[in-house]
Structure 1
């Protein structure tokens, strides 16, 4: 792989830490700021909504700028946002800082996906995208457990100070390793970018992403309370268990990329189906410690096995000038799913059958994604038949 792909992976690592680390700090944040666990869980939703808003807005605003400049500027925003999180005096300020940090997320991954796919041969595009997203998985494997431990030992603010330091490092790596846009930047008219939103397959691809990852975050947003309250682990045990989740993410991400390079739609159906099955099994497995740990690892693998297929599906459906916006919108869709999932998990805890039912309810979302994928394939086949007629 070109070294620039690894530079993008470094930036993805920094963003991944700040996105996911809050899940390992929910109990500390809720106790320190005097809010409930579901309210603390809304910090996940706030971040995700920031991504959802920032991705299309910043992508359109920066569409004619050099991509390297855009990537570095976004990492600067990310770093400043984490500094604001570390200094937040109350819950409202922390929420605002999380939203600020999130603004950089969608456009970074949207632009980065297009750059990564353009650096390799067509048959390796999904693998290049998966390698960039490995930054997220390594963040979960190493950054999140370390951040959770750091928050437990020194307070949750120390974690955000550390993440800001990661941001400074990521800015330096991007500046050194990502090449300049050698061919310059071709001006793209806004109408050309927005035309992608008129393509039904793009919209269906975005809906698949929302539903697929919504189920993941309905569970993962409350993984600490599930492990502590239901499985009976201590708070100190959560960080090592998150390492297992991170190992699953890395393996699933790489396997998903390979499968998508082989056959895209079968890979998409298979990974979403695996997600449904594992969530249903987890409903029973969380009551037994060894089974709970195994399900955490399998959940991570199934969750990130869907990433490259979902991202490549939208890129292929978009094509042409609309790829960058479509790519960013799909990152926004991932995070809209995150927000909806975190909200759904909170509703199940506060007003539904309770914490123990979160995994079963969450399975309905990737099941819905499978239904949308079937509809997408049906429309595609009808279009192919009409074209031959």
Structure 2
């Protein structure tokens, strides 16, 4: 439709600013009435600056909301801590679980494997199913699912019921991690996004340092069911924190299957997923068997192994924040450094253990932890930069690949341990980390035009 002479006349700069404002109504016949009413307001608004004031006030309100987002970021960090602790809780409780339920340690170990596999599948599926629902509501519902799952584990009469509970943990974990990991950009100013992302992912490292050992301690004092009961209590507290501290987070748009699959056509995102797969699978193929490695090559005693693993966790927490700061400025350089250090640290554990005993091996395991602690936040930062227009879908792919790599790494590590012993485990882990180094060096990194399909 041709513009009327009235709309087509030249306008003053003030009129033009008001008409270009998002507050000025647009549309067809359905909005003509609103346009007519607004015409009389245009002149007065242009004269008094009302519309510009409203725009400035809205921007300032958004800035205040983002500056006040740190409590919400803290709640999300508590959420990642809770889901990872819930996932790994059985690791320190396998023997009493198997003894109480009358199953082998291998069967009891399915309580960890099943959760990881379900989380890998749940992350992309739940992201598609939740549509445009408010993310605060979704996170609260998923944390409620984790609470129910841990309570079900408390009263599980047999391993079948316990595995059902662990399936629910996988559902909650996959959903929480996929959604929470991409929310930093909506909660804090842009210059603080890297720090906020690091804080959210610090929950993962803190779960290794504090959550899993604390669960094992509670299990020793009150039995494995008491550990799951305590975890249910923690989930309840975090649920309340999410509801109280998170602002409403309506989805900018529903995630579609075609959109998720379309992301795989972007070379920088494909490179990021390859890095996740190689680094995580390499780490878990070796780390799952780090105890027999330390006992074999360095003569470590059981009490010493626990101390070494604590050093690994503390170093990993530091690595998380160091890598978060580095990845925000130079994602490729940060991941190149992580891959190189991780490769060297893993491969040098046996010779250092033989040459310098437990202390030498422990020092390298701590360096290993420092490097691996930065993997989650740096690869997530890479993927967010590769898909700035589809962060939630990219996060879902990240969580799916990450958890699948955990299961795959533990599986192939077991095969290597059975076939080649501890040397084979270390060689496999270091080799996969070296493959990640090549991928980081040769693959397409995020940059200008990363959002475009390639």
CA distance 1:203–1:85, shift in 2 (3 Å): farther
Corresponding residue number in structure 2 for 1:185:
251
Aligned-pair distance for 1:134?
A: 0.8
Structure 2 Cα separation of the partners of residues 122 and 211 of structure 1:
30
8 Å contact from structure 1 (residues 106, 329) kept in 2: no
Cα distance between partner residues in 1 of 2:427 and 2:106: 18
Q: Larger C-alpha radius of gyration, 1 or 2?
A: 2
- Structure 1 runs of 4+ off > 6 angstroms? 378-381
Which structure would you say has the larger RCO, counting Cα contacts within 8 Å and 6 or more residues apart? 1
Question: 1-side partners of 2:289 and 2:106: how far apart?
Answer: 9
Partner of 2:171: 103
Q: Is the 8 A contact 2:346 2:365 kept in 1?
A: no
Structure 2 CA distance for partners of 1:272 and 1:235, relative to 1, 3 Å: same
Alpha-carbon distance, 1:150 to partner = 2.5
From 157, 172, 181, the equivalent of 2:240 is 172
TM-score when normalising by structure 1: 0.87
Q: Which residue of 1 aligns with 2:316?
A: 249
**For structure 2, which runs of at least 5 residues remain unmatched after alignment?**
1-68
Q: Which residue of 2 aligns with 1:354?
A: 421
Equivalent residue, structure 2, for 1:75? 143
Aligned residues: 380
Aligned with 1:18: secondary structure? helix
Q: Which residue of 1 aligns with 2:375?
A: 306
Tell me, which stretches of 5 or more residues in structure 1 are unaligned?
none
Match of 2:91 among 9, 23, 32: 23
Aligned with 2:403 (options 311, 335, 344): 335
**1:316 to 2:385 alignment:** yes
Residues 148-202 of structure 1: per-residue CA shift (max 9 Å, x gap): 2223343333322221221111101111111113xx4344262444432332332
User: What is the aligned counterpart of 1:370 among 437, 440, 444?
Assistant: 437
The structure-2 alpha-carbon separation of the partners of 1:172 and 1:222, relative to structure 1 and needing over 3 Å to count, comes to farther
- Distance (whole Å) between structure 2 residues aligned to residue 234 and residue 30 of structure 1: 24
Is 1:127 matched up with 2:195?
Answer: yes
Aligned partners of 1:40 and 1:286: how far apart in 2? Answer: 31
Q: Which residue, 356, 359, 366 being the options, matches 1:290?
A: 359
**Aligned mates of 1:264, 1:280 — CA distance in 2:** 24
User: Structure 1 CA distance, aligned partners of 2:297 and 2:341?
Assistant: 23
TM-score norm. by structure 2 comes to 0.75
Which residue in the other structure is 1:2 paired with?
Answer: 70
Q: CA 1:92–1:216 in 2, change beyond 3 Å: closer, same or farther?
A: farther
1:55 touches 1:104 (CA, 8 Å); kept in 2? Answer: no
Is 2:194 aligned against 1:117?
Answer: no
Alpha-carbon distance in 2 for matches of 1:19, 1:71:
17
